[in-house]
Every structure is written in structure tokens, then in C-alpha cells.
Amino acid sequence: MALLSEVKKDYGKLKNYVNGEWIDSNSDKVIDIENPSTGETIGKLPMSTVDETKAAIEAAHEAWWAWRETPPITRGRIFFRLKELMEQHFENVARIMVQEQGKTIDEARGETRRTIENVEVAAGIPSLMMGYNLEDGAAEGIDEDAVISPLGVFGAICPFNFPAMIPYWFWPYAVATGNTYIIKPSSQVPLTQNYLTKLVEEAGFPPGVLNIVNGSHEVSDTLMEHPKVKGISFVGSTPVAKYIYKHSAENGKRVQAQGGAKNSLVVMPDAVLDRTVSNMLASFYGCAGERCLAGSNLVAVGDVADSLMKKFVEASKKIKMGYGLDESVNMGPVVSAKAKKKVLEYIDSAEADGAKILLDGRKAKVPGYEKGHFVGPTVIDRVTPDMKVAKEEIFGPVVTYLRMKNMDEVLDFIHSSPFGNAASIYTQSGKWAREFRYRCQVGNIGINIGIVAAMAYFPFAGYKNSFFGDLHGQGQDAIKFFTDRKVVITRWF
Amino acid sequence: MVECDFPECTTFGAVIRFALELEKGAAGVYEELSREPKAAAAAEMFRSLAVAHKKRGELVEFTRQQKLNEMILEPIQDLKREAYLIDTKTPKGVDVKAAARFAGKIEETSARFYLDAAKIAKNLMAEAARIMDKLGKESLANKTKLDSL
């Protein structure tokens, strides 16, 4: 099967986008951007300095008031233009994502769609950020209004698994509500955001309204510490999310910090097995398991365990791995050699703990892509709740199979996890489904759906160590996060 | 037999790619048939079918971009491309009957592909399934028109 063409072979050294200009970083620290399927270097990324980050913050602050005074309908119209540009460049965005992240082209197209959906929702900002009022709300002849106002400069520190979408959970809402913004893309996958920002520029956002600063922790720390930054959004691992939450809050910021996950997919004895297995494959192996909504523990309840296992392993064997620009490929590599090593260590630990490896992806090879970071679909049976692989986030295409007696045991297991991002149940029973959605303490519940990815107009975040903050990403929560309520009480003599 | 670079239909994108190649192949065949001197009586119909297949291609492209939902992006296992390959080597010097017979086979295969894909897609990509069903039925109607020539 011929590959779809790459947008470019080499993207060169990336620049920052500050105050409407593409600027070279002066930093002498530059890292390679790698294609995880081929192992080739496809670009260079400068690690921007503290001063460069401060300059971006100042530019965003300077741009803020004029942007805040721009009527919401005008701000919304620029988002409509951006949406049109994103539709025109849809395929390029998706293909760049495949090149730098390793996901399949369908996954990349799906992510591009979700990215655009956030722009579509933000374009409706006049309706979304309306305040409210009450005539005679304070007393007779004294009216009371609540006005929704932007706050200033916000920033996002972004992860490697969704190069396009995750920054778009935040910045369109921030900017549409009248704030200005700074994105620090993941240093592993900055290319997609770089490309999208060229579309942002073309759409006509004024200079300084959206800025991109490439780099690492110097950029992040500066964003968290600078007095002119009002809030930080973050997605990544739990230890870093905790740090971001604490450090940003210490510096007086609003924070929403999304962390790791360990999601269970629970199969009840009455589940429709063929459909269930097919849906679970997408959850466990989609994006090579590198998503915070990926299934990780497969929990079989009662006597369904053996028949489910057989079907699931057979279906897993048919997953085709390869470079995501081959449209017949079902699963790409993990993002880096380091990520692969970590996943393999987890599989080794399960074996050492006495679990049984039914399908072993450790030695997976893709002909022609020997330098790619591929891990094959892996199914580990006889996992018990106390094993490391049942408790920790693996972030790879690894299924840990647990057998349980009933719903109480399942819920006790899920609730014993420090994470609370998502959980799914597969059943035809309304009673079980209702009980699960009612009792299960996680942020996202799936009923016969293994990837519980909230649409742009719904809020997204988890519970417990999967999220630090209160207002979630996307939807009305995003509007609230990026604005404040100002009360005005009026009397005319 | 054709041999466009068809992918195995194991993913949503591969099914769509296959459909795009079918539409491109069909449009090309109709354009060539519309220039056949001995089939001149049906030239107008072949031209309009060529245009229709190009538009169908645009609809398929739109489907790929707009109807993909990553929440239900499941592997596809029951659609074998070998069953739907079409012959796009347009025969030369054919009369109306022979041209219609040749094109009819393409429409028949297209109809089968879209209707089978719609059945499979119903579970995996419900919105796309409606479009595939429509295209399948259109191909059947085209086949009926061609049979009447």
C-alpha cells in the first residue's frame, strides 16, 4: 500500500510567533523533532529563553485591552474565518500530526475534526458569554446586572499526545471571551501547532492576541510565575499536573491541570460481545494507547471472562501496525524510544509479578520501519488489582485483563485507584448501566463507548489525581475559567 | 482489471480512499465513453454521468473530512477490496449497447460496495453510512438507466 505523501520531509528550525511576527529564538539549546514511525529527524526546536517568554507575555498584555474592546461578534467572525482555513488545510494538519506524533491518519483526521469543533463553538461567543440581570433585583427601582468580563493574559502548557486538539480545548475560548494567549506546544510535537498558527495569522487575529513560544520548563515556569499571566491550563502526567497546579496557584493564577489516568472498561455478562470487542479495540489501541481516555484495565464480570478473552485476543492479533500515512494501518508507534522503554518495562513487571502474557507486543517489528518506536498490541491475563500494571498508567497499547465477580467488586477496584478520569461499562442492562453511571466516581462515564471524549460543547476533565482545579476544559466551563463575573447595581435619580 | 493503488479496507480512511478511487475511475470511464464515435447517441448521458461521479467524489471527500468520529473509530474487518475492483480500461470502438454494458458493470460493483460498506459502517460511522447508502442506491439507478439503452 502506497503511503499518503508527507507535507514536508524537513520542517527546519521552528520560530516563535510573538506579537504577530515569526521570530527566531536566540537560544543555543535546540532539540531534534523526530518522526516516531521512521526515526528520522524532521525539524529542530529551539528551547526559548526566559526573556523570550517574558517578551511574549508583554506582547500579549499590550494587545489585551484593544482586543477586549473588540465586540464579541467581531471576535467570533475571525473564528469563522479560522474555521474555514482549517477546513481548507484539514488534510495537511492531519498528515503533519501523523509525521510528528505517530498516530494513524484516521486518528489524526479525527483529532483535526475535534480541533475545528472547538473553533466552531468559540465562534458562537456572543451567546456563550452573555451575562444576566434582574430588574428591581436589588430593590424597587434598583436593577442588578452580572457582566461577564475577560481577565487578561492566559497560557497553556501542552502534551505530546494530541498536538492539534489540546491547545484548542483552551485558547479559542480564552481569546473569544476577550483574553490574549500564549501556547507552549509540547517540545516533542510542535509542528502541528506551528502550522495551525500560520492559519491563525491568516485568519486575521491582531498581533499579540495569540502567541506561540516553543521550549521546555523555562517557558512553563515563566508563564506560571509572571504577574501578568492570569491563568494556566495544562494537560500531561499527574506528577507534573500537581506541580503546575501548586506552582501556578502559589503565584496567584487560576489553574486547570489535567493529569494521568487508569481507565477500566467493564464487560458485563450480557454485553453484545462482537460490538463490545470492536469498540474496545479502538479504546485500548487507538493512538497506541497514548491518550488519557484510553482503556487500560479490561474487567470481565462473571462468566463472560473466557469467551470475551478469546474474542478479544483474536481481534487484537489482526491490528495492523505501521506508519500512519498508510491508510490501512490500525495503529502507529508510541511517541519516542523513552516512551517505548517505559511501556516494555511495565510488561516485564507484569510477567515478573506472575501475570500471563497472552499477546506479546514487546518484539513487534514493522518491516521498513526498523527505527520506529513500535509496541505491538499486548494482552496480559491473570492480572490482580494489587499488581503495578493494574494500578499505574502505562500509556501504551497494553491491556491488563482482570476477572471480577460482581458490580460491587468492580466499583471497589475502580475507586481504589488514585485516578478518576474515565470508566466504561458494556451491557444491555439499563439497571447495571444506571448503577454504574450513578455510583462510579470518575469524570467521564461510557456506556457501550470505550473512549468517553467529551465534545467541544461539553466540559472535559477527570476526578481525583486525574485533574487539579475546578473548572474543566471546553464548553461552558471554559467560558467561566477565562472570565470573571462583575456585578453592577444601578439606580437612576 | 483496474489497478488503482487501492488500500485494504481495514479503516474508515481506507474505505473512503477506495470510494474515491471508484468515483475517479468511473468518471474517467464515462468521459472516454462520451467520446466514442459509435456510442455518440448516448454521449450526453455519459457526460452527465461523468459529472455526477465527480460530484460523488466530492461528497465522499466531504464525508472523510466531516463525518469521522474518533470515538467510534473501530477497525474494519469484513470488507474485502478484491470483491469490488472495477475495470477502468475503457474498450475502444464500442457501440451504445456495449458501452452501456461496460459502464453497467461499474455501477453494479459500486452499488454493491456502497451498500455493503453502509451495512458495516452503520455500526462504526453512522453518519457516513447514510451517505454510502445513498451512493449505492444512486449506482443502482444508474445501472437501470444504462440497461435501458
Q: Residue A259 is placed in which grid cell?
A: 493529569
User: B59 CA to chain A: closest CA distance, Å?
Assistant: 15
Residues A310 and A439 in one domain: yes
Residues A416 and A366 in one domain: yes
Residue A1 confidence (pLDDT): 60
* Local structure of residue A151 (DSSP, 8 states): -
- The reply to whether residue B75 touches residue A318, judged by beta carbons under 8 angstroms, is yes
pLDDT in tens, B74-119: 888 778 888 899 999 999 999 999 999 999 999 999 999 999 999 9
Q: Is A5 on the interface with B (CB under 8 A)?
A: no
Q: Structurally, how many domains does chain A consist of? A: 2
Domains of chain B: 12-147 (1.20.1260.10)
- The reply to whether residue A1 touches residue B7, judged by beta carbons under 8 angstroms, is yes
Measured from the Cβ of residue A385, the count of other Cβ atoms closer than 10 Å reads 17
| Least CB–CB distance from A327: residue in B11, B71, B74 | B11
Residue B127 confidence (pLDDT): 82
Cα(A295)–Cα(A426) distance, rounded to whole angstroms? 13
pLDDT in tens, A189-237: 999 999 999 999 999 999 999 999 999 999 999 999 999 999 999 999 9
Candidate list A158, A287, A292, A440, residue with the active-site label: A292
From the list A263, A272, A276, A221, the residue with the least C-alpha distance to A244 is A221
Residues A363 and A216 in one domain: no
Domain contains A208: yes
Residues B45-67 have a mean pLDDT of 96
Alpha helices in A132-253 (DSSP H): 165-168, 171-176, 191-203, 217-225, 238-250
The number of C-alpha atoms within 13 Å of A268 and in the hemisphere containing its C-beta is 20
- Detail the DSSP E strand segments found in B53-106: none
Residue of A nearest to B64 (CA): A109
For residue A23, give its domain range.
16-259+466-491
Residues A231 and A367 in one domain: no
**What's the maximum distance between 2 C-alpha atoms anywhere in chain A?**
83
Q: Residue A462 is placed in which grid cell?
A: 477527570
Which residues lie closer than 8 Å to B62 by C-beta, 6 or more apart?
none
| Least CB–CB distance from A449: residue in B17, B66, B71 | B71
Residues A129-155 have a mean pLDDT of 97
Residue B4 confidence (pLDDT): 47
Banded pLDDT at B2 (limits 50, 70, 90)? very low
**A292 in active site:** yes
Residue B6 confidence (pLDDT): 58
β-pairing verdict for A16-18 and A21-23: antiparallel
User: B147 CA to chain A: closest CA distance, Å?
Assistant: 35
Q: Residue A78 is placed in which grid cell?
A: 475571525
Domain contains A131: yes
CB B145 within 8 A of CB B46: no
Residues A190 and A300 in one domain: no
- State how far Cα A427 lies from the chain centre: 28
Residues A135 and A240 in one domain: yes
The number of C-alpha atoms within 13 Å of A421 and in the hemisphere containing its C-beta is 31
CB A420 within 8 A of CB A443: yes
Q: Residue B15 is placed in which grid cell?
A: 474505505
- Taking CA atoms, B45 is separated from B5, B99, B130, in Å, by 28, 11, 26
Chain A with chain B: Cβ pairs closer than 8 A: 78
Q: Residue A473 is placed in which grid cell?
A: 476544559
Domain contains A9: no
Q: Is B148 on the interface with A (CB under 8 A)?
A: no
Which residues lie closer than 8 Å to A314 by C-beta, 6 or more apart?
none
CB B117 within 8 A of CB B79: yes
Residues A126 and A25 in one domain: yes
What letter represents residue B55's amino acid?
K
pLDDT at A299 over 50: yes
User: End-to-end distance of chain B based on CA atoms, in angstroms?
Assistant: 24
- Touching B: A residues 268-327, CB under 8 Å: 275, 278-279, 281-282, 286, 315, 318-320, 326-327
Domain contains A342: yes
Residue of B nearest to A286 (CA): B73
pLDDT in tens, A20-49: 999 999 999 999 999 999 999 999 999 999
- The reply to whether residue B65 touches residue A113, judged by beta carbons under 8 angstroms, is yes
Domain contains A453: no
- Detail the DSSP E strand segments found in A368-421: 378-381, 398-404, 419-420
Average pLDDT, chain B: 90
Cα(A231)–Cα(A248) distance, rounded to whole angstroms? 8
CB A181 within 8 A of CB A115: no
Look up the CATH number of the domain holding residue A312. Answer: 3.40.309.10
Residue B7 confidence (pLDDT): 64
Please classify residue A337 by burial: count the beta carbons closer than 10 Å to its beta carbon, then call 0-12 exposed, 13-18 middle and 19+ buried: middle
pLDDT at A137 over 50: yes
Report chain B residues whose CB lies below 8 A from the CB of A292: none
pLDDT at A149 over 80: yes
Residue B3 confidence (pLDDT): 44
Average pLDDT, chain A: 97
Residue of A nearest to B74 (CA): A282
- The reply to whether residue B72 touches residue A330, judged by beta carbons under 8 angstroms, is no
User: A99 CA to chain B: closest CA distance, Å?
Assistant: 17
From the list A150, A207, A40, A130, the residue with the least C-alpha distance to A484 is A150
| Least CB–CB distance from B70: residue in A1, A111, A319 | A111
From the list B68, B126, B72, B119, the residue with the least C-alpha distance to A448 is B72
Characterize A243-265 residue by residue with b for buried, 16 or more Cβ atoms within 10 angstroms of its Cβ, and e for exposed. Answer: bbbebbbebebbbbbbbbbbbbb
Q: Is B72 on the interface with A (CB under 8 A)?
A: yes
Q: Is A248 on the interface with B (CB under 8 A)?
A: no
The number of C-alpha atoms within 13 Å of B98 and in the hemisphere containing its C-beta is 11
Cα(A423)–Cα(A262) distance, rounded to whole angstroms? 9
From the list A450, A390, A433, the residue with the least C-alpha distance to A414 is A390
pLDDT in tens, A320-355: 999 999 999 999 999 999 999 999 999 999 999 999
- The reply to whether residue B10 touches residue A320, judged by beta carbons under 8 angstroms, is yes
Residues counted in chain B:
149
- State how far Cα A288 lies from the chain centre: 14
- State how far Cα B95 lies from the chain centre: 23
Measured from the Cβ of residue B31, the count of other Cβ atoms closer than 10 Å reads 17
Q: Is B123 on the interface with A (CB under 8 A)?
A: yes
CB A247 within 8 A of CB A221: yes
Residues A431 and A482 in one domain: no
- State how far Cα A310 lies from the chain centre: 32
pTM above 0.90, yes or no: yes
| Least CB–CB distance from B74: residue in A2, A281, A327 | A281
Kindly state the helix (H) or strand (E) to which residue A424 belongs, with its residue range.
strand A422-426
Residue of B nearest to A284 (CA): B74
Cα(A310)–Cα(A308) distance, rounded to whole angstroms? 5
Strand ranges across the sheet with A142-150: A132-139, A142-150, A483-491
Q: Is B5 on the interface with A (CB under 8 A)?
A: yes
pLDDT at B1 over 60: no
pLDDT at B71 over 90: no
Domain contains A232: yes
Look up the CATH number of the domain holding residue A176. Answer: 3.40.605.10
Residues A228 and A350 in one domain: no
- The reply to whether residue B11 touches residue A286, judged by beta carbons under 8 angstroms, is no
Residues A154 and A48 in one domain: yes
Domain contains A10: no
Residues A403 and A474 in one domain: no
Residues A142 and A22 in one domain: yes
Q: Is B73 on the interface with A (CB under 8 A)?
A: yes
Domain contains A437: yes
In the three-class reduction of DSSP (H, G, I as helix; E, B as strand; rest coil), residue A58 is classed as helix
| Least CB–CB distance from A2: residue in B5, B73, B124 | B5
